[in-house]
Structure 1
Amino acid sequence: MPLPAHQPVGAFTPVTNVRLELGEGPRLLADGTVVLVDILTGRLLRLPDEETGTLTELAHLPEPLGAVAPLGAGHGWAAATGVSFAVLDAVGRTIRSTEVSHQAGGAQRMNDAVCDSAGRMWAGTMAYNAAEGSGALHRWDADGSVTCVLDGLTIPNGPAFSPDGHTLYLADSAHGTVEAFAVDPRTAELSDRRLVFRVDPEEGSPDGMTVDAEGCIWSAIWGGGRIRRYSPQGQLLQSVDVPAQQPTAVCLTGRDLIVTTASYGLPDPGPWDGAVLRAACAATAPVAFSTDPSLAESSV
């Protein structure tokens, strides 16, 4: 089987002069806009259009905001925030939330999250102190119920789905691993767990990721200053240098490669640490799936 085509990537430039503490979760929406979060400051932001040149604040929560998914056109957002799944209205107010199950290991927060094609939201939790085994993966269903799908993780990241929705990819940044699971499209049960790739600790750790239209995984390598592209079988296809030490997540728009980065924990951040970066790239990925609109009405 031939390898997927190489995807040329241009030079990176910062989208704005704003620097984030822990930028994450860039998502391409159906209308072509891109939203992202600054996790620890609880902010939901929209990338600027060519006219404004500024990040637009869509919501500012009093707790960490791991990621969002659109809740239908104009209906607000499903959000992984604090230690809960929540519904935010169109102006960013929390109108409903339900906590996930608590894991041992001290105070926790939501980390990254994504929605699947059936409208379910999947999110990882982790301890603030990154205690070993204290992380978990949770699923929020259309009836409002929350299920702990997988425990014993440490820093779950991703998650991301293959274009057909039949495979879930999940990183555990503390262990340098990205694993794959088969997803039952009807029940959302996971099976056939396998290791896809592992990153040597001396080279950084896998953080947020996306899957392109060819099924290849684009992984932000935290601490390594690069984005790596892997085949579904785990073969390294490309490595792209990023002018920031801590890239956190990736978004493909068909015109640009968008990379969020973090200044968090750096004693001497460089000029582009914490920036949202953009480089020309023709690779495509599906737009962010919407959560099931019934979540806005479900009892929690």
Structure 2
Amino acid sequence: MADRQLRTVLEGGGFFEGPRWHEGTWWVSDFYRHTVSRVAPDGAETVVVEVEQQPSGLGWLPDGSLVVVSMKDHRVLRHADGSVSTYADVTEHCGGHLNDLIVDAQGHVFVGDFGFDLMGGGAAATASLKRIGPDGSVSVAAEELQFPNGAVITPDGGTLVVGETLGNRYTAFDLGADGSLTNRRVWAALGPEVTGTTVDEVLGQLVVAPDGCTLDAEGRIWAADAVGGRVVRVAEGGQIVDEVAAPAGLGVYACMLGGDDGRTLLMCCAPDFYEHNRAPVREAVLVATEVDVPHAGRP
């Protein structure tokens, strides 16, 4: 594993999530400052939109408008021309907070949810991956996923791979031009099958908890390991071929490849992910390092 130097890009966050590289700048959500910001490579931050009910996943529709998850009220918002509107309400398909999303080339939005009350210690349950069509219609694209979270789409647009944070795995689907997900299979097994009904039982069985992630040009996925204090580079099948440790005392909960050459790996770091710990303080940081293989695919 390479020894890499980390540099701090931005400090003072509540809990950073959903990092993206778009039009020459970083974009990131902050759960507990309730903001979506652009962050220049030199760390200059510009708040673009505020989301009262907690922002998470970010993406862009074919018309260039921003879509952002509003977690606690289960909505996907659309930001365009300085105004914010509800793009879709997916409450009927949610068992917990809405979370990360990804947008395909045709404008289908795929978004997962926690499946249960993670912060309140509710019984662990599976969740679905929701699909929002270009016309705003909502349907369930896949069911029985163990905390569907960060996802990538291959450069040819034909495969969607989603991390199951509480499942020790990545699951792949063939992605149709109509937004259909078929041919479900395990893309990478990162640990044994997870069982149990309590959060503590499930967390205790996790080898790698794939959180926010990004795809590179060799078809490997850089994944934040939400229980390991690191990002790991995962090959199809499950082999970990590289990793980068977070700064001491911090976990990593999302990552993204970007920069002008696609080789900058941005990491969203914080001491933990629990709302009661993170919301009152500003200890989250964005850190970055350089890798050899550039970004590919979506997001």
Same fold? TM cut 0.5: yes
User: Does the alignment pair 1:88 with 2:76?
Assistant: no
Give the equivalent residue in structure 2 for 1:283: 293
Q: Does 1:24 align with 2:17?
A: yes
Q: Distance in 2 between matches of 1:157 and 1:118?
A: 21
Question: Deviation above 6 Å: which 4+ runs of structure 1?
Answer: 266-269
Are residues 192 and 248 of structure 1, via their aligned partners in 2, closer, same or farther at CA, if it must alter by over 3 Å? same
Q: Residue 167 of structure 1: CA displacement?
A: 1.5
Rounded to whole Å, the distance in 1 between the matches of 2:191 and 2:283 is 21
Distance in 1 (alpha carbons) for counterparts of 2:6 and 2:60:
28
Which blocks of at least 5 consecutive residues in structure 2 are unaligned?
Answer: 193-204
2:56 corresponds to 1:47: no
The answer to whether the 8 A contact 1:110-1:125 is kept is yes
Q: What are the within-5 Å matches in structure 2 for residues 1-300 of structure 1?
A: 10-21=4-15, 23-29=16-22, 31-50=23-42, 53-71=43-61, 76-81=65-70, 82-91=73-82, 93-103=83-93, 105=95, 108-126=96-114, 127-129=116-118, 131-199=123-191, 201=205, 203-243=207-247, 245-253=250-258, 254-263=262-271, 264-265=273-274, 274-286=284-296
Structure 1 gap ranges (5+): 1-5, 290-300
1:292 corresponds in structure 2 to none
Paired residue total: 274
Alignment partners' CA distance in 2, 1:225 and 1:175: 18
Tell me, yes or no, if the aligned pair for 1:229 and 1:239 is still in contact at 8 Å: yes
Deviation at 1:284, TM superposition (A): 1.4
In structure 2, C-alpha distance between the alignment counterparts of 1:194 and 1:71, rounded to whole Å: 28
The equivalent of 1:295 in structure 2 is: none
Distance 1:199 1:128 in 2: 24
Question: Aligned pair in 2 of structure 1 residues 123, 266: CA closer, same or farther (>3 Å)?
Answer: closer
Aligned to 1:297: none
**Rounded Cα–Cα distance in structure 1 between residues aligned with 2:137 and 2:159:** 22
Taking structure 2 as the reference length, the TM-score comes to 0.80
Q: Which digits, 9 at most, give the CA deviation of each residue in 1:66-107, with x for residues without a partner?
A: 21212457x53122223122212243x4223321152475xx
SS of structure 2 residue aligned to 1:275: strand
Give the residue type in structure 2 aligned to 1:63.
Q
RMSD of the alignment, in Å? 2.8
Q: 2:74, 2:94 within 8 Å by CA — same for their partners in 1? A: no
Aligned partners of 2:216 and 2:297 also within 8 Å: no
Are residues 133 and 267 of structure 1, via their aligned partners in 2, closer, same or farther at CA, if it must alter by over 3 Å? closer
Distance in 2 of aligned mates of 1:9 and 1:138:
39
1:176-211 per-residue CA deviation (whole Å, 9 max, x = no partner) reads 221112222345232232241224746451111111
- 2:166 match: secondary structure: helix
Secondary structure, aligned partner of 2:97: strand
| 1:143 counterpart SS class | coil
8 A contact 1:104–1:134 mirrored in 2: no
Q: Bigger CA drift: 197-206 or 9-18?
A: 197-206
Separation in 1, partners of 2:276, 2:86? 38
- C-alpha distance in 2 between matches for 1:77 and 1:268: 29
| Distance (Å, rounded) in 1 between the aligned partners of 2:20 and 2:269 | 14
| TM-superposed deviation, 1:137 | 0.7
More deviation, 172-181/194-203: 194-203
Distance, in Å, in 1 between the alignment partners of 2:94 and 2:277 is 33
> 2:81 & 2:107 partners in 1: Cα distance?
18
Measure, in 2, the Cα distance between the counterparts of 1:268 and 1:262.
10
Secondary structure, in 3 states, of the residue corresponding to 1:102?
A: helix
